[in-house]
């Protein structure tokens, strides 16, 4: 399908686009002509039908300055996620005043969503995708529909994923994204700021190069990718709003069909990732550290302030980390094949003898016929690759014998007339 | 005997539903054979040479008449009219169809039976002395403890995927009729200084490719701690048993490679953690289970001597049967009867549906509705009044089950061999049949006396050839079935593993070879009362080797 035929279906400004073609449009401007790009969009292509979402982050000032030059009344939306640095909120006011922006609107998350999905405000820690979803994607969605074009501050240099960013993009829902700063480098941004005397975000000077919500932003080292400080340690680079290069808004919560981690009765996003060669024991986070790696750099891991997990493979002795178990937010026990039953003993030792009470997940060859046994041995989370097993879990249809002949685990309850050997699963689990 | 209550019934019902679901998923293709195999094996369903084989558990070899009738019904309805009793006191059906298996399991459940853990790398059916609860030499009836172990091990979540299968045998008598020293764990009743009865625990015995005699790991474990001790052994095995090579995965290899002292230290360390915990067996529970195995309502009878000499004159076949197939009962006026499933020329351990029903009749009429399966593949009526022996015998004659050869040379153990088994290298049953014909003459068998021949069709040793006084092992060499002969094995408390005498024989030459060994024995025994195995121990291999291979 050519770009032109896509344009034909667009409900917004389609005539002009049909005439120009988005390819041609992208060829109309010099790489560094940010103002020309924005003016073309705001006054010709999408007059009155264009808006901007700004994070009011470290380099938002450049784009907002361009907007102010083209049209100070262009709608500017700020995602007031409730998790911003106080410095960011102050910076919003500074820029509004200094640039003369007269149409800035704060978008707040739905209180009902917060109450339901993030009652204690820690969703960012366990499931950052969903956190972004309820605090950014959901509030923005109804606004998105009101405009045919959106101005973004994305730049090619920011991350590898953005390396081919053009000035104009057609989104999969037939809108136009305008990226005036697509070709700006870090140095270009700084030069522009200096030239126009734009105020710095108060945190920029202390090392924050790309600023989002406070919990998910950290300081970027010299020479590091500026966005490396966003969701550091997580396998996450984009917040979900513009995740899809074609413009579709990612919906992590609707994507449960692909989720592998089954916990608390549902498939859920997995904040943890696997240990990778070269990971730094001092700074790695949300990673299942193999038990031998942990022992090899135990002091560094114990000094690491971030949430960590432990990976126990068949043959690893969990007794060797007995005193450190409380350090782990999650322990993954690997079943290399479902016929390898060592993990069952590991599960019981962890949960019954060593008193580990956190997330205990089975990983590897996890199939529906073994999950009931794993549960009895203390497992409360399962990473499931096998689709029929995922289906069985989704449908709550495990082939299970619900009464037991032997006392196992910490939650089973005595049953019937012979409480000595007879057990049943607890009412809820 | 043990009777299910609602809990037991619900457990088996749920397990049947669970397995039926697995069968259905296999039939619809949702499960592939690789995924289905371990699941069906957890429920005794094998894929043999020609068909599926379903192995049904007979817990510690105890059956009622009603249960035996149900087995007959299954043999008739779903199989080809017979079943095969095994060396682990179970029964196998050789020709069920996969789609019928859920129905068969439902039938079994209706008489409190199942196929749970009759195969797979889990704790298998606990076996015991076929004369348990009846034998005159018994210290304690092992069946209540066997039942408790059965329950504890049923679908044990930690021990369902062990490195390899795990077999436990238990005996309450000093004379070991359950081959406990050739099991992964063997339990033998023992008495401590205070006079309490507990268990000697033997570990690491087994047959197969690497026969090992078990080693005593603990001389006295009291009842209350037995399950904790077993769980300790199983946990050490589950964690440290080899999984890299299925032929080195049994606990006997772990014990052998690590040494008994190392394993014992690990087990004791584990035991010190779990001892006194939830697995402590309350005496009330033992008493409650024990009450199911209370002696039946025996009559007070005078001791009734059996005049075998007189009976032999009147009816030689009956005399032979009395001489060989009767075992002393602890109650005066009663006896235990071995029903031989080794007719001359028959397949060892097979019984037809009609025979099963006949045996059920006899059990109901003459043995307080109790039956046993022996590990030597015979059936037992444990509690028969001496006064009823003739009636029982006549009933057995009618059913074609009156062979008076228990313990004699024709009372062989043989595995199914290449006629049925996918693992076998050679046939077993035809060899047993040929030997049986060779020694068919009752006088000859009587002259030879106690002699255990055990035949396996491959090195997995299901026919227990290692512990045969004479063992026969089928191997395949260059496309030919050859049979190696071992000598001097013994599965009892005098445990020993037979030694290979020399190169193998072709099938046709095996009966003659056995005869030459028997002739050496008959010619060299010190008295007619010296049994074969004693002569072998006294003389060593040499004269037997010479008889087979000549002077070298």
Domain shared by B76 and B213, yes or no: no
Q: Which of A253, A287, A306 is the last residue of a domain?
A: A253
Those residues with Cβ within 8 angstroms of residue B400's Cβ, 6 or more apart along the chain or in another chain: B343, B355
Q: Determine, for residues B121 and A338 on separate chains, whether the beta-carbon distance falls below 8 Å.
A: no
- Predicted confidence at residue A225, as pLDDT, reads 56
Domain shared by B419 and B541, yes or no: yes
- Predicted confidence at residue A124, as pLDDT, reads 81
> What tokens appear for A105 in the block?
């609107």
Domain for residue B20, yes or no? Answer: yes
Of B103 and A11, the structure prediction assigns the larger pLDDT to B103
pLDDT band, residue B74 (cuts 50/70/90): very high
pLDDT band, residue A229 (cuts 50/70/90): low
Distance, CA of A202 to CA of A87 (rounded, Å): 6
- Predicted confidence at residue B357, as pLDDT, reads 98
- Predicted confidence at residue A10, as pLDDT, reads 40
Distance, CA of A152 to CA of A247 (rounded, Å): 12
Taking residues B436-464, report their average pLDDT. Answer: 95
Of A345, A404, A420, nearest to B285 by CB-CB distance is A420
In sequence order, which ranges of B247-307 are alpha helices (DSSP H)?
251-258, 260-274, 283-292
Domain for residue A429, yes or no? Answer: no
- Predicted confidence at residue A269, as pLDDT, reads 82
Question: Is A239 a residue of the active site?
Answer: yes
Q: Determine, for residues A420 and B157 on separate chains, whether the beta-carbon distance falls below 8 Å.
A: no
Taking residues B235-259, report their average pLDDT. Answer: 96
Q: How far is CA A109 from CA A50, A88, A103, A139, in A?
A: 22, 17, 20, 6
Of A197 and B523, the structure prediction assigns the larger pLDDT to B523
Residues of A with CB under 8 A from a CB of B: 314, 338-342, 344-346, 348, 353, 367, 369-370, 372-374, 376-377, 388, 399-408, 415-418, 420-422
Residue A216 marked as a ligand binder: yes
The segment with the largest mean pLDDT, out of A197-206, A389-398, B119-128, is B119-128
> What is the complex's ipTM, to 2 decimals?
0.93
Residues in chain B, total = 552
Q: Are strands A423-424 and A413-414 parallel, antiparallel or unpaired?
A: antiparallel
pLDDT in tens, A51-82: 998 888 777 899 999 999 999 999 999 988 88
- Predicted confidence at residue A7, as pLDDT, reads 36
Domain shared by B138 and B66, yes or no: no
The CATH number given to whatever domain includes residue A199 is 3.40.50.620
The CATH number given to whatever domain includes residue A366 is 3.20.20
Domain shared by A324 and A366, yes or no: yes
Domain housing A140: 3-253
Q: Are strands B370-373 and B62-64 parallel, antiparallel or unpaired?
A: antiparallel
pLDDT in tens, A39-54: 888 888 888 889 998 8
Domain count, chain B: 3
Q: Determine, for residues B161 and A401 on separate chains, whether the beta-carbon distance falls below 8 Å.
A: no
Taking residues B350-368, report their average pLDDT. Answer: 98
Q: Quick check: A240 pLDDT over 50?
A: no
Domain shared by A248 and A303, yes or no: no
Domain shared by B142 and B99, yes or no: no
Domain shared by B183 and B77, yes or no: no
Which of A239, A253, A329, A371 is catalytic? The answer is A239
Of B347 and A228, the structure prediction assigns the larger pLDDT to B347
Burial of B330 (0-12, 13-18, 19+ CB in 10 A): middle
Domain shared by A282 and A191, yes or no: no
Taking residues B76-82, report their average pLDDT. Answer: 95
Q: Determine, for residues A344 and B238 on separate chains, whether the beta-carbon distance falls below 8 Å.
A: yes
Domain shared by A302 and A223, yes or no: no
Distance, CA of A102 to CA of B324 (rounded, Å): 110
- Predicted confidence at residue B432, as pLDDT, reads 95
Q: Which residues pair with A289 in a beta bridge?
A: A310
Q: Which of B264, B289, B314 is the last residue of a domain?
A: B289
Q: Quick check: A226 pLDDT over 80?
A: no
Domain shared by A64 and A103, yes or no: yes
- Mutation test of the interface with chain B: which of A345, A355, A370, A417, choosing the one with the most B Cβ atoms within 10 A? A345
Q: Which of A253, A286, A305 is the last residue of a domain?
A: A253
- Predicted confidence at residue A420, as pLDDT, reads 65
Domain for residue B354, yes or no? Answer: no
> What tokens appear for A18 in the block?
């049909």
Nearest in space to B26 (alpha carbons), one of B38, B9, B44, B15: B38
Chain A residues with CB-CB distance to B288 below 8 A: 418
Domain for residue A167, yes or no? Answer: yes
Q: Quick check: A13 pLDDT over 70?
A: no
Dmax of chain A from CA atoms?
Answer: 85
Of A339, A399, A403, nearest to B11 by CB-CB distance is A403
Q: Which of A221, A253, A285 is the last residue of a domain?
A: A253
Domain housing B499: 413-549
Domain count, chain A: 2
Of A345, A406, A407, nearest to B235 by CB-CB distance is A345
Domain for residue B408, yes or no? Answer: no
Determine contact, residues B172/B182, Cβ cutoff 8 Å: no
The CATH number given to whatever domain includes residue B485 is 3.30.413.10
Domain shared by B432 and B536, yes or no: yes
Q: Determine, for residues A400 and B281 on separate chains, whether the beta-carbon distance falls below 8 Å.
A: no
pLDDT band, residue A9 (cuts 50/70/90): very low
Of A8 and B180, the structure prediction assigns the larger pLDDT to B180
For residue A318, what is the nearest residue in chain B, using CA coordinates? Answer: B239
Domain shared by B97 and B161, yes or no: no
The CATH number given to whatever domain includes residue B43 is 3.90.480.20
Residue B14 contacts A, CB cutoff 8 Å: yes
pLDDT band, residue A416 (cuts 50/70/90): low
Domain shared by A244 and A370, yes or no: no
Taking residues A117-145, report their average pLDDT. Answer: 82
The segment with the largest mean pLDDT, out of A89-98, A114-123, B129-138, B415-424, is B129-138
């Amino acid at each position: 399908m050519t770009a032109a035929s896509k344009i034909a279906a667009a409900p917004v400004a389609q005539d002009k686009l049909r005439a120009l073609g988005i390819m041609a449009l992208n060829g109309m401007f010099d790489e560094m002509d940010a103002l020309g790009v924005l003016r073309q969009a705001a006054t010709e292509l999408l007059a009155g039908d264009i808006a901007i979402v700004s994070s009011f982050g470290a380099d938002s000032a450049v784009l907002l300055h361009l907007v102010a030059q083209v049209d100070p009344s262009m709608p500017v939306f700020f995602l007031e996620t409730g998790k911003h640095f106080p410095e960011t909120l102050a910076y919003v006011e500074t820029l509004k005043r200094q640039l003369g922006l007269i149409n800035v609107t704060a978008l707040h998350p739905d209180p009902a969503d917060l109450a339901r999905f993030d009652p204690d405000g820690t969703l960012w820690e366990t499931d950052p995708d969903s956190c972004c979803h309820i605090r950014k994607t959901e509030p923005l969605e109804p606004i998105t529909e009101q405009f045919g074009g959106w101005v973004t501050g994305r730049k090619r240099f920011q991350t590898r994923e953005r390396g081919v960013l053009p000035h104009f993009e057609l989104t999969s829902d037939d809108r136009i994204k305008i990226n005036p700063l697509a070709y700006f480098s870090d140095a270009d941004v700084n030069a522009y700021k200096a030239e126009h005397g734009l105020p710095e975000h108060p945190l920029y000077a202390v090392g924050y190069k790309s600023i989002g919500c406070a919990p998910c932003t950290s300081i970027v080292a010299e020479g590091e990718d500026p966005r490396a400080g966003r969701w550091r340690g997580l396998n996450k680079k984009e917040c979900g709003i513009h995740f899809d290069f074609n413009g579709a808004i990612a919906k992590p919560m609707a994507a449960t069909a692909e989720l592998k981690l089954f916990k608390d009765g549902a498939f859920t996003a997995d904040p943890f990732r696997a240990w990778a060669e070269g990971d730094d024991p001092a700074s790695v986070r949300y990673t299942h550290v193999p038990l031998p790696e942990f022992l090899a750099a135990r002091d560094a891991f114990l000094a690491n302030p971030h949430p960590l997990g432990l990976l126990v493979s068949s043959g690893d002795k969990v007794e060797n980390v007995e005193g450190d178990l409380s350090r782990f937010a999650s322990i993954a026990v690997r079943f290399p094949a479902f016929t390898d039953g060592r993990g069952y003993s590991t599960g019981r030792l962890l949960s019954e003898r060593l008193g580990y009470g956190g997330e205990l997940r089975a990983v590897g060859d996890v199939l529906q016929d073994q999950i009931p046994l794993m549960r009895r041995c203390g497992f409360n989370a399962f990473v499931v690759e096998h689709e029929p097993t995922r289906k069985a879990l989704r449908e709550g249809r495990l082939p299970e014998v619900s009464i037991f002949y032997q006392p196992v685990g910490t939650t089973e309850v005595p049953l019937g007339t012979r409480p000595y050997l007879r057990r049943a699963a607890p009412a809820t689990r | 005997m043990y009777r299910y209550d609602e809990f037991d019934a619900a457990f088996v019902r749920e397990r049947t539903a669970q397995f039926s679901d697995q069968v259905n998923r296999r039939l619809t293709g949702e499960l592939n054979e690789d995924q289905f195999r371990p699941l069906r094996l957890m429920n005794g369903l094998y894929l043999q040479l020609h068909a599926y084989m379903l192995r049904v558990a007979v817990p510690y070899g105890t059956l009622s008449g009603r249960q035996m009738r149900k087995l007959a019904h299954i043999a008739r309805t779903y199989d080809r009219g017979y079943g095969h009793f095994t060396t682990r006191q179970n029964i196998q059906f050789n020709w069920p169809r996969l789609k019928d298996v859920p129905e068969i399991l439902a039938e079994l459940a209706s008489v409190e039976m199942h196929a749970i853990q009759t195969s797979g790398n889990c704790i298998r059916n606990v076996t015991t002395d076929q004369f348990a609860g009846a034998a005159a030499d018994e210290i304690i009836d092992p069946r209540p403890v066997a039942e408790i172990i059965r329950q504890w091990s049923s679908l044990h979540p930690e021990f369902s995927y062990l490195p390899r299968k795990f077999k436990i045998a238990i005996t309450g008598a000093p004379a070991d009729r359950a081959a406990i020293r050739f099991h992964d764990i063997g339990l033998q009743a023992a008495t401590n200084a205070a006079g309490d009865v507990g268990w000697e625990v033997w570990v690491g015995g087994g047959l197969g490719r690497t026969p090992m005699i078990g080693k005593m790991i603990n001389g006295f474990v009291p009842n209350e701690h037995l399950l904790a001790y077993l769980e300790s052994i199983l946990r050490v095995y589950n964690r440290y048993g080899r999984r890299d090579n299925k032929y080195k995965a049994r606990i006997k290899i772990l014990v052998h490679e690590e040494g008994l002292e190392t394993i014992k230290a690990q087990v004791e360390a584990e035991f010190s953690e779990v001892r006194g915990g939830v697995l402590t067996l309350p005496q009330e529970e033992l008493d409650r289970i024990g009450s199911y195995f209370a002696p039946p309502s025996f009559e007070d009878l005078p001791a009734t001597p059996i005049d075998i000499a007189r009976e032999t004159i009147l009816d030689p076949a009956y005399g032979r049967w009395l001489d060989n197939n009767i075992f002393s009962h602890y109650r005066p006026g009663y006896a235990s009867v071995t029903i031989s499933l080794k007719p001359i020329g028959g397949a060892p351990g097979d019984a037809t549906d009609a025979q099963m029903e006949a045996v059920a009749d006899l059990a109901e009429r003459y043995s307080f509705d109790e039956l046993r399966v022996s590990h030597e593949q015979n059936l037992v009526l444990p509690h028969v009044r001496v006064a009823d022996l003739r009636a029982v015998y006549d009933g057995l004659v009618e059913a074609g089950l009156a062979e008076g050869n228990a313990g004699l040379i024709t009372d062989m153990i043989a595995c199914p061999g290449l006629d049925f088994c996918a693992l076998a290298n050679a046939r077993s049953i035809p060899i047993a049949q040929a030997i049986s014909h060779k020694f068919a003459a009752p006088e000859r068998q009587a002259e030879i006396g106690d002699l255990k021949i055990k035949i396996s069709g491959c090195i997995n040793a299901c026919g227990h050839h290692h512990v045969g006084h004479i063992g026969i092992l089928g191997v395949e060499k260059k496309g030919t079935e050859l049979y190696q002969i071992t000598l001097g094995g013994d599965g009892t408390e005098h445990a020993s593993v037979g030694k290979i005498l020399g190169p193998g024989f072709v099938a046709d030459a095996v009966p003659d070879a056995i005869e030459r060994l028997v002739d050496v024995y008959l010619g060299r025994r010190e008295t007619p009362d010296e049994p074969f195995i004693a002569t072998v121990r006294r003389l060593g291999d040499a004269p037997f080797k010479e008889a087979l291979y000549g002077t070298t």
